[in-house]
Amino acid sequence: MTSKFFSERNLRFLLYEVFDVISLTRYDTYKEYDGKTFDMVLKAAMELAEGLLWPIFQEMDKNPPELADNQIKVHPSVRKFLEECGQGGWIGPGMPFEWGGQQLPQMITHACEFIFAAANYSASVYPGLTSGAAHLILTFGNEEMKKTYLPKMFSGKWQGTMALTEPEAGSSLSDITTEAEPTDKGWYKIRGQKIFISAGDHNAVENVVHLMLAKIKGAPAGVKGISLFVVPKKRMEEKGQLVLNDVVTSGIFHKLGYRGSPIAQLSIGDNDDCRGYLVGEPHQGLFHMFQMMNEARIGVGIGAAAIASAAYYAALDYSKKRLQGRKLSTKNPTAPQVPIIEHPDVKRMLLFQRSIVEGSLALLMQCGKYADLAGVLIGEEKEKNEFLLDLLTPVAKSYPSEMGLLSISQGLQCLGGSGYCDDYPLEQHYRDARIHPIHEGTTGIHGLDLLGRKVMMKGGKAYKLYLEEVQETLREAEKLEELQSYTPKLKESLEMLQKVTAHLMEVGRKETPELFLADATLYLEFFGIVSVAWQWLVQAMVVVKAMKKSPDGAEANFYAGKFFAFRFFFEYELPKMAGLAKRLMNSDGLTVEIKPEFFSD
Amino acid sequence: MTSKFFSERNLRFLLYEVFDVISLTRYDTYKEYDGKTFDMVLKAAMELAEGLLWPIFQEMDKNPPELADNQIKVHPSVRKFLEECGQGGWIGPGMPFEWGGQQLPQMITHACEFIFAAANYSASVYPGLTSGAAHLILTFGNEEMKKTYLPKMFSGKWQGTMALTEPEAGSSLSDITTEAEPTDKGWYKIRGQKIFISAGDHNAVENVVHLMLAKIKGAPAGVKGISLFVVPKKRMEEKGQLVLNDVVTSGIFHKLGYRGSPIAQLSIGDNDDCRGYLVGEPHQGLFHMFQMMNEARIGVGIGAAAIASAAYYAALDYSKKRLQGRKLSTKNPTAPQVPIIEHPDVKRMLLFQRSIVEGSLALLMQCGKYADLAGVLIGEEKEKNEFLLDLLTPVAKSYPSEMGLLSISQGLQCLGGSGYCDDYPLEQHYRDARIHPIHEGTTGIHGLDLLGRKVMMKGGKAYKLYLEEVQETLREAEKLEELQSYTPKLKESLEMLQKVTAHLMEVGRKETPELFLADATLYLEFFGIVSVAWQWLVQAMVVVKAMKKSPDGAEANFYAGKFFAFRFFFEYELPKMAGLAKRLMNSDGLTVEIKPEFFSD
């Protein structure tokens, strides 16, 4: 098995050459950093990934968590990993120095998340969830809460979770029934059921801190009645001792993949003794939670691209070593067999993977850059970056998730029968990655979010800003002769996007919401293709400029390969928009119209 | 878990209403049959599937075969199933009466295979392989061979296999090194290694009969030196006793899915005591083997459509029962939640599955009909049917295999988080089905077969016959008013196919084989879409005629649903050809040109 699961060269390309992360160091927040210190952070992440995470990638899958005596037991290395995360500053690495964070820009933390997830996605989820939960407490919690929870969480001793889903409320969060009854002691009594809670309980930590959605008794129906609570597994009594808080792990789910991470079912307050602590304002819970959800969505995109990266390098390694067949033009059957990477169809499968992995990662880095700039800029510029991040979040979550599956499947295909067997990691990547179109909002939900909310919000402001961004790239790219046969293709696609969007807006104005949003999932796919094509053009500009300096050896190969992957995306993936546009322009209501009983047989 | 895994109504629709299987009974071969007796056969298959196969679908996955003491141990029900297959005539059901077969047309045996595979794909493979191996012996073996092997195989007591792949020869069969040394006793001494042999060894039978490819010492290099042998695990000595034949099971593969069926590694002749018996002519082995391979390829298509069928009905059942969310136009958050089948996006996912499952199955039945007619007709008519079957075999194998994966993935998606967990069968379907684009020739190999061989053979004769078939359907469909907005779409697609094919033929004439075949896999996909669209139009004609008789109740719903699935394919799937055509018309040699070292980072 190859030991390569990501490309350091590509990460450096994106961070330093394309998105110029060092330019952030001119702002106060990041002034402590420079290229050297960023490098040290990346190096530390790689060491942890290579030394601890990658070696147990298959082992954690083969020895999944088990529930025994009301507690979930996980692989022993999880504890070690979380301790290392605590010591190395990998939990909440973007948090402020004053809370013990590393105050890193998101571009860098995204890169580190990518490295961890490529090495071992299941393991990477534990610190990721704690980071998001801690960030919520930091943003909306009171001082006491911060002091009680944050140091423990940042040290890796306490696990954070997001506890949203219930048996009868998954995609429809407004239907949660977990109840919070106010007491005169400042805390609430919590009662309910939660399912599908990632890292919802395990023995690698001393405590689990659930960031939980519940409804305060008498709250309005729907999303407007949802509040956010901290509900720890063990609560801290006045004297500082931890006592059980009536949060019982009532089940564990057995999953297709992503098996190193336990997914728990929780029974809360069965003995009327569960205390929850309100975070932020009452009835603003879902709004608050969106901070963590949006971070988690970008995190899913990163995880999806990361698994696809690991699969790609496994497929590439095999394709270079495996001898099979001859060139089609070789007629002599006694000529030696060639490595399968010599076959155009195998190169096509590899280029497909590379174009998905590196295109997705570029889009995620672009989102990181918007987030970083939103954090340091003010006024209109800040707002612009926030809008762009908001608009692109469903795309950056869903495109890598959906296309990652196809990418990994092509990786598996490169290995033929061996890809189907567990002597190679492909089959696990294939299983692990299938979670991504589901968790943190299914692809369908993100389609509704993009078309029904994001594209429309504030009179289409974010959408217009997006078009300007892509047009700006096109203007820059048009100046480079080497790109002149490619820019028209993206231009045409962008026009297609505008045409389709205008058509759908018209349907939205005139027809029912059902008809307007019937093909929202396809619109999301459509939007994803043009966005990733844009990111490939952004990369291609850097490549063209770099090639002019006549690099040699590995550098020349890197840039040459990049340019092929860019071309591949434009020649093989971008044309898919044509078929989607055809469908999207035809709002015939087919799926609205068909009655459930027509599926009866 | 729903107990429905296929639609009997749809099978009857295809067999009796679309392809008129009863019309075959006018030929001598099938004169013993009529609608009633066909029905009895179908009923018996359903009973076996529902009574024995479906109940152990998950159990066989959770308790995969194990290798111990040189023998693979399989689930105890496999023996029972093979016994029932033997008694019920399910092994070689198309074989002649004189050999104890049922002499059934392929349309009927395809339907039964489909039922078995939908219930439990892994289990269905055992009799399927024995059937194909027995058919090979029947066609090319000598009388003694037939007498020795066929009764045991048809009774389910001996397992048949196809033993082709070797560690260094998978897609490139010409590189096999298994050797056959002639002796003066009529048999050959066999020595070699075989891998990935399905049902290659197990304890549910008394013996295993390998139909094995090997090279006779001194044979020419390449495919022209390959011969076919019967190599039994236990050979029959003169006095009729069985003795071990030096075929040792040296390994078992641990697979992503399809776990109920053991895939073995075999060491042959390590002790210089393995006897093989030549089947057919020396050096004609690959040619002979193509009979079994082609049958197996259609079998893979059936298996792929069948798993997708089971996944579809599981998703449908869930979608009808699961309450989540409200109609988008419902603003009241206290209104009751609706079954998710009310949501257009869920209906879209269900229609996608139905259009893939039923469209694929129609194409496979069409192939069955060609095979049946080739078997009973003579002269030019026979040849025509043979050509069409030959041309469509790579399509009928690959389209269901590739699209089945996407279909099952959408089925899993309908269940959200539950689809990812093993409380539901979706995750297993998702794993099981991934073998199909790999075994019996990868999708890439079938692309080469279609474009590089089938479309070109005999001056494009099969291809021209195919175009005529589709045009004939178009002419018929144009007569129906209800189809007038759909026929132009298929017409346009067929023209696109011709344009693309002509372009590629031109490239083939003028350029290297590498460039000509670089996108053969995409051409296969392209060809698959137009072929399945054709089959949907074939079905739609029957639906339109049936609707005119004003059916009611379940019948009306069946036809109405069918028509929606037809429309869905034309509106959502057929447009994908546009993007593919764009690529296929652009033979820029991108994947030929890129050098392996450009993938270096």
Q: What is the ipTM of this complex?
A: 0.98
Nearest chain B residue to A425 by CA: give it. Answer: B256
| Tokens (6 digits) for A327 | 């060139």
CB B321 within 8 A of CB B342: no
Q: What are phi and psi of A241, to 5 degrees?
A: -85, 150
The answer to whether the CB atoms of A599 and B561 lie below 8 A apart is: yes
**Bridge partners of B208?**
B159
For B420, the closest of A255, A334, A419 (CB atoms) is A255
Contacts A351 to B, Cβ<8 Å: 590-591, 594
The answer to whether the CB atoms of A438 and B420 lie below 8 A apart is: yes
Q: What are phi and psi of A484, to 5 degrees?
A: -70, -20
Q: Beta-carbon neighbour count of residue A591 at 10 Å? A: 24
| Tokens (6 digits) for B403 | 């699209």
Element (H, E) at B416: none
**Bridge partners of A259?**
none
| Tokens (6 digits) for B413 | 């998606």
Residue type, A267: S
Residue type, B176: I
Helix (H, G, I), strand (E, B) or coil at B25: helix
Contacts A597 to B, Cβ<8 Å: 557
Distance CA B452, CA B472 (A): 26
| Tokens (6 digits) for A572 | 């093989």
Nearest chain A residue to B564 by CA: give it. Answer: A594
Query: Residue for token digits 């039922």?
Result: B115
Closest CA to B253 of A419, A319, A415: A419
Q: May I ask the CATH architecture of the domain B159-283?
A: Beta Barrel (2.40)
Distance (Å) from the C-alpha of residue B236 to the closest C-alpha of chain A? 33
Determine which of B17, B591, B593, B597 to mutate to test the interface with A (most A C-beta atoms within 10 Å).
B591
Contacts A594 to B, Cβ<8 Å: 347, 351, 561, 564
Residue type, A337: Q
Q: What's the confidence (pLDDT) of residue B404?
A: 98
Burial zone of A236 (CB within 10 Å; 0-12 exposed, 13-18 middle, 19+ buried): middle
Contacts B9 to A, Cβ<8 Å: 601
Q: What's the confidence (pLDDT) of residue A1?
A: 56
The answer to whether the CB atoms of B579 and A583 lie below 8 A apart is: no
For B600, the closest of A438, A561, A579 (CB atoms) is A561
Q: What's the confidence (pLDDT) of residue B240?
A: 86
The pLDDT tens digits of the residues spanning A225-265 come to: 999 999 999 999 988 899 999 999 999 999 999 999 999 99
For A334, the closest of B170, B221, B452 (CB atoms) is B221
For A564, the closest of B427, B577, B598 (CB atoms) is B598
Q: May I ask the CATH architecture of the domain A8-154?
A: Orthogonal Bundle (1.10)
Which residues in chain B show pLDDT less than 50? none
Q: What are phi and psi of A81, to 5 degrees?
A: -60, -45
Q: Beta-carbon neighbour count of residue A588 at 10 Å? A: 12
Distance CA A345, CA B526 (A): 16
| Tokens (6 digits) for A323 | 């001898």
Helix (H, G, I), strand (E, B) or coil at B290: helix
Determine which of B330, B331, B350, B594 to mutate to test the interface with A (most A C-beta atoms within 10 Å).
B594
Ordered mean pLDDT values, 10 residues apiece, chain A (601 residues):
89 98 98 98 98 97 95 97 97 93 97 98 98 97 97 97 96 95 97 98 98 97 95 93 97 98 98 98 96 96 98 98 95 94 98 98 98 98 98 98 98 98 97 98 98 96 98 98 98 98 97 97 98 98 98 97 98 97 97 95 69
Contacts B350 to A, Cβ<8 Å: 599
Distance (Å) from the C-alpha of residue A218 to the closest C-alpha of chain B? 14
Distance (Å) from the C-alpha of residue B513 to the closest C-alpha of chain A? 6
Largest interatomic CA distance in chain B: 88
Contacts A314 to B, Cβ<8 Å: none
Strands (E), B128-178: 158-163
* Options A113, A402, A440, A573, the catalytic residue: A440
Residues 6+ apart with CB under 8 A from B424: B1, B314, B318, B415, B418
Residues in chain A: 601
The answer to whether the CB atoms of B256 and A421 lie below 8 A apart is: yes
Q: What's the confidence (pLDDT) of residue A2?
A: 65
pTM (whole model) above 0.90: yes
* Options B440, B469, B525, B573, the catalytic residue: B440
The pLDDT tens digits of the residues spanning A26-72 come to: 999 999 999 999 999 999 999 999 999 999 999 999 999 999 998 99
Q: What's the confidence (pLDDT) of residue B1?
A: 56
Nearest chain B residue to A255 by CA: give it. Answer: B421
For B564, the closest of A221, A405, A594 (CB atoms) is A594
DSSP A569: I
Residues 6+ apart with CB under 8 A from A395: A363, A446, A450, A524, A527, A528, A531
Contacts A568 to B, Cβ<8 Å: 590-591
CB B227 within 8 A of CB B216: yes
The answer to whether the CB atoms of B348 and A320 lie below 8 A apart is: no
Pick the CATH number of A159-282 from 3.50.50.60, 2.40.110.20, 3.30.70.240, 3.40.50.1950: 2.40.110.20
Distance (Å) from the C-alpha of residue B367 to the closest C-alpha of chain A? 24
Determine which of A594, A595, A597 to mutate to test the interface with B (most B C-beta atoms within 10 Å).
A594
Cα–Cα–Cα angle for B73, B77, B81, rounded to 5 degrees: 115
Contacts B175 to A, Cβ<8 Å: 324-325, 337
The answer to whether the CB atoms of A435 and B427 lie below 8 A apart is: no
Distance (Å) from the C-alpha of residue B570 to the closest C-alpha of chain A? 10
The answer to whether the CB atoms of A416 and B325 lie below 8 A apart is: no
The answer to whether the CB atoms of A170 and B417 lie below 8 A apart is: yes
Distance (Å) from the C-alpha of residue B76 to the closest C-alpha of chain A? 24
Q: What's the confidence (pLDDT) of residue B85?
A: 97
The pLDDT tens digits of the residues spanning A87-119 come to: 999 999 999 999 989 999 999 999 999 999 999
The answer to whether the CB atoms of A521 and B579 lie below 8 A apart is: no
Distance CA A599, CA B475 (A): 30
Residue B440 designated active-site: yes
Distance (Å) from the C-alpha of residue A33 to the closest C-alpha of chain B? 27
| Tokens (6 digits) for B423 | 């409380």
The answer to whether the CB atoms of A575 and B591 lie below 8 A apart is: no
Largest interatomic CA distance in chain A: 88
Residues 6+ apart with CB under 8 A from A172: B324, B325, B326, B337
Distance (Å) from the C-alpha of residue A505 to the closest C-alpha of chain B? 16
Contacts A329 to B, Cβ<8 Å: 512-514
